[in-house]
Chains A and B, each alone.
Chain A
């Protein structure tokens, strides 16, 4: 049997030095922002019961989840997303919490992807959930926070794109079609498969809704989308929803992020999950969205009643990678190397380490023979060495030391 003791599982990897540091830097920026806006962190387990993800219509297909069993043979999964565990929290320990709740998380999620497609099975995500708030104010807060995440990471120019699941739902409802047909139309709209969508909708003849559905995936861009859509949607049940989305868009345009906001009426992902606005964030040089979220009013329950909620998650791996391209992280080296020439000097050496740290310097302790200290400092790029003998210290710059 082959041994797999020296490789990581497919879709996972090790993060070394600069990479790990840049993940840390990005997380820190984002955590600071979330906390500055009044969100509190929660941490949920990496393993959950499968049932947590089997709630009504939460659409992570079972085949994409990493599954295992516990000692009683019950099916468990390795967390494929963080929102469902938060829904579990709200229904239980937070059932009597005063609303709105502002929660954030920062943890990895796991999904089994197609093999060899170059996708990661383990993705670090940070995200927020605003629970128990609805309407324009709550929606605006979250979309503008999403924009602030990307500008806070200095990723300009980025793009925040908004849509509304209610438009597709209203049009599809009016067609009186079954689940299978609805899903087929949704898939064609989601993948902007214009030819297949046109062919498929022929069966509904000249119905107004079918004509509009045909145009839906083509309606993306900036303000002119609303002008086009208003004419198209006039008289349908989706009219009101469009007016709401327009209001939201106009408010966003008046903010700092205004020039980076666009709209796509053809965002119809996870229609069984989202119930209101949906949004995505894009940056140059990354082939898919780096941020994604929306309103889901029929997921979180407190004491048996649905609580409105909206949230989004940021792909930390993608954002950290982009930040690192723009502002490369250098591998950090210590400011000073502390070398004890004899055992007598050891206590003083360790005291000196913390002393340097208190002065805001990084100090590394040298474990080996004192003669080797100079070569080591040169190898690691440490500019200064402190030699200690008994309780005498002698400070040398690494260059002098090597002479």
Chain B
């Protein structure tokens, strides 16, 4: 039988997913000693893991060259595409937020606002819903610089703890959307390999939920 190909977003989501696979009892030796290889087998589970940049995970799934993908909601919101988005794994949790210089009243006045961001589509959609015309400037690196240098009135960016913002005298004005790791599936694979894929995803969800339960109990014990 042809193996199920899973595309993982390189970096943190990859590490979290590999950890999840290990709790599921998969042999992840190849994933730990990957060297420069980009396609890695999980031998006993008939799975091949592909490591890719976030936006490429979506592209590979859409075209059906990979069957299942793990990618952040941030990437899905920015790039879109047609695939099934079947599960929220809960990890990689953070949020999109609108932020700017501490104390500024962003919505005051009628002047057009300039927003710096790495996520122009997310930003456009957010302000379209508010029927607000904004001038969007795409920035590739540290977006926090833009309001400090006077290029932008605010930024739309991923905020995890908010410490970078604080250290630079910025604050969150408004939450745009919560983000976490999602499982996406190619629409044809979902139908042609229904059983294998449903079992795999069911398994992943069960183990993620199990882990949350453990964390909760750990917290409870500590609080006591």
Contact = CB atoms under 8 A, between A and B. Distances in A.
Interface in A71-112: none
Interface in A226-268: 262, 264
Interface stretch (B41-49, B58-66, B93-101): B58-66
B82 A193 contact: no
A193 B80 CA distance: 13
Contact of B194 (A117, A193, A221): A221
B59 A194 contact: no
B86 A289 contact: no
B188 A288 contact: yes
Interface stretch (A51-59, A126-134, A279-287): A279-287
A192 B84 contact: yes
Interface string B72-106: 00000000111111111000000000000000000
Contacts of A264: 191
Contacts of B182: 195
A196 B186 contact: no
A192 B59 contact: no
Contacts of A221: 194
B111 interface: no
B187 interface: yes
Contact of A191 (B63, B65, B84, B194): B84
Contact of A287 (B85, B87, B188): B188
Interface in B162-189: 182, 185-188
Nearest to A199: B88
Contact of B83 (A161, A191, A195, A285): A191
Contact of A193 (B59, B65, B84): B84
Contacts of A287: 62-65, 186-188
Nearest to B67: A287
Most central of A118, A284, A287 by chain B CB within 10 Å? A287
B192 interface: yes
Nearest to B2: A284
Contacts of A262: 191
A159 interface: yes
A221 B63 CA distance: 22
Contacts of A159: 191-192
B193 to A, nearest CB: 10
A282 B88 contact: no
Given A286-B64, A287-B186, A195 B87 contact: yes
A271 B87 CA distance: 25
B190 interface: yes
A288 to B, nearest CB: 6
A168 interface: no
B191 A282 contact: yes
Interface of chain B: mostly helix, strand, loop or mixed? mixed
Contacts of B186: 287
A182 to B, nearest CB: 18
A296 interface: no
A221 B190 CA distance: 10
A312 interface: no
Interface in B128-167: none
Contact of A118 (B63, B82, B188): B63
Contacts of B84: 191-193
Contacts of B59: 117-118
B95 to A, nearest CB: 15
Contacts of A286: 64, 188
Contacts of B190: 192
Given A191-B85, A192-B85, A287-B186, A161 B64 contact: no
B75 to A, nearest CB: 14
B223 to A, nearest CB: 28
A159 B190 CA distance: 12
A34 interface: no
A220 interface: yes
A379 B37 CA distance: 42
Contacts of B85: 191-193, 195-196
A282 B192 contact: yes
Contacts of A194: 86-87
Contacts of B82: 191, 288
B199 to A, nearest CB: 13
Contacts of A195: 85, 87-88, 182
Interface string A275-306: 00000001011111100000000000000000
A221 B59 CA distance: 26
Contacts of A118: 59, 63
Contact of A192 (B62, B80, B86, B192): B86
Contacts of B80: 114
Interface string A13-34: 0000000000000000000000
Given A117-B59, A287-B62, A287-B65, A282 B188 contact: yes
10 contacts: A117-B59, A191-B82, A192-B85, A192-B185, A194-B87, A221-B194, A282-B191, A286-B64, A287-B63, A287-B186
Interface of B: 59, 62-65, 80-88, 182, 185-188, 190-192, 194
Interface of A: 114, 117-118, 159, 161, 191-196, 220-221, 262, 264, 282, 284-289
Report the 10 A-B pairs with minimum CB-CB distance, sorted nearest first: A287-B64, A192-B84, A195-B88, A193-B85, A287-B63, A282-B188, A192-B86, A191-B85, A194-B86, A287-B186
